[in-house]
Protein backbone atom coordinates (compact mmCIF):
# COMPACT_ATOMS: atom_id res chain seq x y z
CA UNK A 1 0.00 0.00 0.00
CA UNK A 2 1.17 3.54 -0.71
CA UNK A 3 3.01 5.18 2.20
CA UNK A 4 2.53 8.91 1.71
CA UNK A 5 1.72 9.89 5.31
CA UNK A 6 3.49 7.43 7.63
CA UNK A 7 7.18 8.18 6.79
CA UNK A 8 6.91 11.97 7.21
CA UNK A 9 4.97 11.50 10.48
CA UNK A 10 7.78 9.29 11.79
CA UNK A 11 10.39 11.80 10.67
CA UNK A 12 8.52 14.65 12.40
CA UNK A 13 8.17 12.63 15.61
CA UNK A 14 11.87 11.75 15.62
CA UNK A 15 12.82 15.38 15.12
CA UNK A 16 10.54 16.52 17.96
CA UNK A 17 11.84 13.87 20.34
CA UNK A 18 15.42 14.81 19.45
CA UNK A 19 14.70 18.47 20.21
CA UNK A 20 13.04 17.48 23.51
CA UNK A 21 15.94 15.15 24.29
CA UNK A 22 13.67 12.18 24.93
CA UNK A 23 16.14 9.57 26.14
CA UNK A 24 15.22 6.30 24.48
CA UNK A 25 16.39 2.94 25.72
CA UNK A 26 15.37 0.05 23.47
CA UNK A 27 16.03 -3.66 23.84
CA UNK A 28 14.95 -6.72 21.88
CA UNK A 29 13.95 -4.97 18.67
CA UNK A 30 15.51 -7.85 16.73
CA UNK A 31 12.46 -9.91 17.74
CA UNK A 32 10.28 -7.95 15.30
CA UNK A 33 10.45 -9.92 12.02
CA UNK A 34 11.77 -8.08 9.00
CA UNK A 35 9.19 -9.71 6.73
CA UNK A 36 5.78 -11.30 7.11
CA UNK A 37 2.85 -10.70 9.38
CA UNK A 38 3.02 -10.31 13.15
CA UNK A 39 0.81 -9.11 15.99
CA UNK A 40 2.61 -6.57 18.17
CA UNK A 41 1.01 -6.35 21.63
CA UNK A 42 1.95 -3.47 23.94
CA UNK A 43 0.96 -2.43 27.43
CA UNK A 44 -1.07 0.79 27.51
CA UNK A 45 -0.13 3.69 29.82
CA UNK A 46 -0.35 6.77 27.60
CA UNK A 47 -2.27 8.34 24.75
CA UNK A 48 1.05 8.38 22.87
CA UNK A 49 1.75 4.65 23.11
CA UNK A 50 1.01 3.91 19.46
CA UNK A 51 3.94 6.16 18.54
CA UNK A 52 6.41 4.55 20.91
CA UNK A 53 5.24 0.98 20.34
CA UNK A 54 5.61 1.65 16.63
CA UNK A 55 9.19 2.74 17.24
CA UNK A 56 9.93 -0.83 18.37
CA UNK A 57 9.47 -2.00 14.78
CA UNK A 58 11.53 0.69 13.06
CA UNK A 59 14.92 -1.09 13.41
CA UNK A 60 13.37 -3.95 11.41
CA UNK A 61 12.11 -1.38 8.88
CA UNK A 62 8.48 -2.22 9.61
CA UNK A 63 5.44 0.03 9.90
CA UNK A 64 2.80 -1.02 12.43
CA UNK A 65 -0.93 -0.74 11.69
CA UNK A 66 -2.55 -0.10 15.05
CA UNK A 67 -6.07 -0.98 16.04
CA UNK A 68 -7.52 2.14 17.67
CA UNK A 69 -10.98 3.26 18.75
CA UNK A 70 -13.20 4.88 16.15
CA UNK A 71 -13.23 8.24 17.98
CA UNK A 72 -9.59 8.84 17.07
CA UNK A 73 -10.43 8.48 13.37
CA UNK A 74 -13.29 10.96 13.65
CA UNK A 75 -11.13 13.75 15.10
CA UNK A 76 -10.47 16.54 12.63
CA UNK A 77 -6.68 16.42 13.15
CA UNK A 78 -5.85 12.85 14.11
CA UNK A 79 -8.43 11.29 11.79
CA UNK A 80 -6.75 12.06 8.44
CA UNK A 81 -3.38 11.05 9.88
CA UNK A 82 -4.68 7.73 11.23
CA UNK A 83 -6.35 6.89 7.94
CA UNK A 84 -3.29 7.98 5.97
CA UNK A 85 -1.10 5.63 8.04
CA UNK A 86 -3.57 2.79 7.37
CA UNK A 87 -4.36 2.17 11.01
CA UNK A 88 -7.48 0.15 11.81
CA UNK A 89 -10.57 1.82 13.33
CA UNK A 90 -12.34 -0.22 16.01
CA UNK A 91 -16.03 0.28 16.70
CA UNK A 92 -16.48 -1.36 20.10
CA UNK A 93 -20.16 -1.87 19.36
CA UNK A 94 -19.42 -3.73 16.12
CA UNK A 95 -15.89 -5.08 16.22
CA UNK A 96 -16.24 -7.81 13.58
CA UNK A 97 -15.32 -5.43 10.76
CA UNK A 98 -12.08 -4.27 12.36
CA UNK A 99 -11.16 -7.85 13.25
CA UNK A 100 -11.64 -8.89 9.62
CA UNK A 101 -9.53 -5.94 8.45
CA UNK A 102 -6.74 -6.91 10.85
CA UNK A 103 -6.80 -10.52 9.59
CA UNK A 104 -6.61 -9.33 6.01
CA UNK A 105 -3.60 -7.14 6.81
CA UNK A 106 -1.83 -9.93 8.68
CA UNK A 107 -2.34 -12.30 5.75
CA UNK A 108 -0.88 -9.61 3.49
CA UNK A 109 2.28 -9.58 5.62
CA UNK A 110 1.62 -6.47 7.71
CA UNK A 111 2.45 -5.92 11.39
CA UNK A 112 -0.73 -5.18 13.33
CA UNK A 113 -0.48 -3.38 16.68
CA UNK A 114 -2.87 -4.19 19.53
CA UNK A 115 -3.35 -2.74 23.02
CA UNK A 116 -4.81 -5.89 24.53
CA UNK A 117 -5.85 -4.14 27.75
CA UNK A 118 -8.22 -2.08 25.55
CA UNK A 119 -7.88 1.06 27.71
CA UNK A 120 -5.09 2.89 29.52
CA UNK A 121 -4.03 1.34 32.81
CA UNK A 122 -4.37 3.92 35.57
CA UNK A 123 -2.32 1.73 37.93
CA UNK A 124 0.52 1.43 35.37
CA UNK A 125 0.43 -2.34 35.80
CA UNK A 126 -0.87 -4.73 33.16
CA UNK A 127 -4.65 -5.10 33.42
CA UNK A 128 -6.68 -8.09 32.30
CA UNK A 129 -6.10 -8.53 28.58
CA UNK A 130 -8.46 -9.50 25.78
CA UNK A 131 -7.97 -12.59 23.63
CA UNK A 132 -8.20 -10.89 20.22
CA UNK A 133 -4.44 -10.72 19.62
CA UNK A 134 -4.02 -14.46 20.25
CA UNK A 135 -7.02 -15.34 18.10
CA UNK A 136 -5.71 -13.24 15.21
CA UNK A 137 -2.27 -14.85 15.44
CA UNK A 138 -3.78 -18.33 15.48
CA UNK A 139 -6.03 -17.58 12.52
CA UNK A 140 -3.19 -16.27 10.36
CA UNK A 141 -0.25 -18.33 11.69
CA UNK A 142 1.85 -15.30 12.65
CA UNK A 143 3.87 -14.60 15.82
CA UNK A 144 2.79 -12.44 18.76
CA UNK A 145 5.43 -9.91 19.84
CA UNK A 146 5.05 -8.51 23.40
CA UNK A 147 6.25 -4.93 23.95
CA UNK A 148 6.64 -3.02 27.22
CA UNK A 149 6.63 0.78 27.35
CA UNK A 150 7.63 2.89 30.32
CA UNK A 151 7.97 6.66 30.63
CA UNK A 152 5.31 7.66 28.08
CA UNK A 153 2.77 8.20 30.89
CA UNK A 154 4.82 11.19 32.03
CA UNK A 155 3.99 12.99 28.77
CA UNK A 156 0.24 12.34 28.53
CA UNK A 157 -2.00 9.86 30.28
CA UNK A 158 -5.55 9.51 31.52
CA UNK A 159 -6.55 11.95 34.24
CA UNK A 160 -3.36 14.03 34.08
CA UNK A 161 -2.56 17.26 32.19
CA UNK A 162 -0.59 16.97 28.97
CA UNK A 163 3.14 17.63 29.22
CA UNK A 164 3.99 17.03 25.59
CA UNK A 165 6.93 19.44 25.58
CA UNK A 166 8.55 18.06 28.73
CA UNK A 167 12.29 17.65 28.16
CA UNK A 168 14.84 14.96 29.05
CA UNK A 169 12.26 12.25 29.81
CA UNK A 170 13.68 8.70 29.70
CA UNK A 171 11.56 6.37 27.53
CA UNK A 172 12.04 2.61 27.75
CA UNK A 173 10.90 0.20 25.03
CA UNK A 174 11.46 -3.51 25.68
CA UNK A 175 10.54 -6.13 23.07
CA UNK A 176 10.09 -9.68 24.26
CA UNK A 177 10.64 -12.98 22.50
CA UNK A 178 7.87 -13.93 20.07
CA UNK A 179 5.05 -16.31 20.93
CA UNK A 180 3.77 -18.77 18.32
CA UNK A 181 0.19 -19.73 19.16
CA UNK A 182 -1.19 -22.35 16.77
CA UNK A 183 -4.72 -23.15 15.66
CA UNK A 184 -6.44 -25.59 17.96
CA UNK A 185 -4.34 -24.67 20.99
CA UNK A 186 -6.07 -23.33 24.08
CA UNK A 187 -6.64 -19.58 23.66
CA UNK A 188 -6.91 -18.88 27.38
CA UNK A 189 -3.58 -20.56 28.07
CA UNK A 190 -1.90 -18.30 25.54
CA UNK A 191 -3.67 -15.22 26.94
CA UNK A 192 -2.35 -16.10 30.40
CA UNK A 193 1.15 -16.58 28.99
CA UNK A 194 0.97 -13.25 27.15
CA UNK A 195 -0.19 -11.46 30.31
CA UNK A 196 2.72 -12.98 32.25
CA UNK A 197 5.24 -11.99 29.60
CA UNK A 198 3.91 -8.44 29.36
CA UNK A 199 3.87 -8.07 33.16
CA UNK A 200 7.45 -9.29 33.47
CA UNK A 201 8.63 -6.94 30.72
CA UNK A 202 6.82 -3.97 32.25
CA UNK A 203 8.20 -4.77 35.70
CA UNK A 204 11.74 -4.93 34.30
CA UNK A 205 11.23 -1.65 32.46
CA UNK A 206 10.02 -0.01 35.68
CA UNK A 207 12.76 -1.37 37.92
CA UNK A 208 15.59 -0.55 35.50
CA UNK A 209 14.26 2.91 34.61
CA UNK A 210 16.86 5.67 35.16
CA UNK A 211 14.53 7.41 37.60
CA UNK A 212 12.75 5.41 40.34
CA UNK A 213 11.61 8.10 42.80
CA UNK A 214 9.21 7.51 45.67
CA UNK A 215 5.88 9.29 46.02
CA UNK A 216 5.39 10.44 42.41
CA UNK A 217 2.11 10.08 40.54
CA UNK A 218 3.61 8.26 37.57
CA UNK A 219 5.10 5.43 39.61
CA UNK A 220 2.96 2.34 40.43
CA UNK A 221 1.91 1.87 44.05
CA UNK A 222 3.93 -1.30 44.56
CA UNK A 223 7.12 0.64 43.73
CA UNK A 224 6.33 3.49 46.11
CA UNK A 225 4.39 5.74 43.77
CA UNK A 226 1.00 7.33 44.29
CA UNK A 227 -0.72 5.81 41.26
CA UNK A 228 -3.94 3.93 42.08
CA UNK A 229 -3.56 0.28 43.01
CA UNK A 230 -4.94 -2.19 40.44
CA UNK A 231 -8.04 -2.59 42.60
CA UNK A 232 -8.57 1.15 42.90
CA UNK A 233 -7.99 1.59 39.17
CA UNK A 234 -10.53 -1.13 38.37
CA UNK A 235 -13.12 0.65 40.51
CA UNK A 236 -12.41 3.94 38.73
CA UNK A 237 -12.76 2.26 35.33
CA UNK A 238 -16.06 0.68 36.37
CA UNK A 239 -17.42 4.03 37.57
CA UNK A 240 -16.35 5.68 34.32
CA UNK A 241 -18.03 2.97 32.25
CA UNK A 242 -21.24 3.30 34.28
CA UNK A 243 -21.25 7.05 33.81
CA UNK A 244 -20.77 6.58 30.06
CA UNK A 245 -23.75 4.22 29.90
CA UNK A 246 -25.95 6.69 31.79
CA UNK A 247 -24.91 9.47 29.43
CA UNK A 248 -25.78 7.38 26.37
Question: Domain ranges in the chain?
Answer: 5-214
Q: At what angle do helices 132-140 and 96-107 cross, to 10 degrees?
A: 40
Q: How far is residue 87's CA from residue 132's CA, in Å, rounded to a whole number?
A: 16
pLDDT given at position 10: 97
Q: Give me the numbers of helices (H) and strands (E) for the chain, helices first please.
A: 8, 7
What's the whole-number mean pLDDT along residues 119-128?
A: 98
Element (H, E) at 148: strand 144-150
Percent of all residues in the chain with a pLDDT value above 90, rounded to a whole number = 92
Torsion of the alpha carbons at 206, 209, 213 and 217, rounded to the nearest 10: -50
Specify the pTM.
0.96
- Please name the CATH architecture into which domain 5-214 falls: 3-Layer(aba) Sandwich (3.40)
Q: How far is residue 116's CA from residue 40's CA, in Å, rounded to a whole number?
A: 10
pLDDT given at position 95: 75
Q: With a cut of 90, say whether residue 132 has pLDDT above it.
A: yes
What's the whole-number mean pLDDT along residues 151-165?
A: 97
pLDDT band, very low/low/confident/very high, at 125 (cuts 50, 70, 90)? very high
Amino acid sequence: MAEIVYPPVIAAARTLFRVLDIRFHMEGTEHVPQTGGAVLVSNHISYLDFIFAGFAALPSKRLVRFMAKQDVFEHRISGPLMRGMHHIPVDRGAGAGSYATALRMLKAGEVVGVFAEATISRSFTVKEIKNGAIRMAQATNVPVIPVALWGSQRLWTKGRPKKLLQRHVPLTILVGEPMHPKRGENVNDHVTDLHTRLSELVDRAQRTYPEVPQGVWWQPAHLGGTAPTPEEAAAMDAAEAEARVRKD
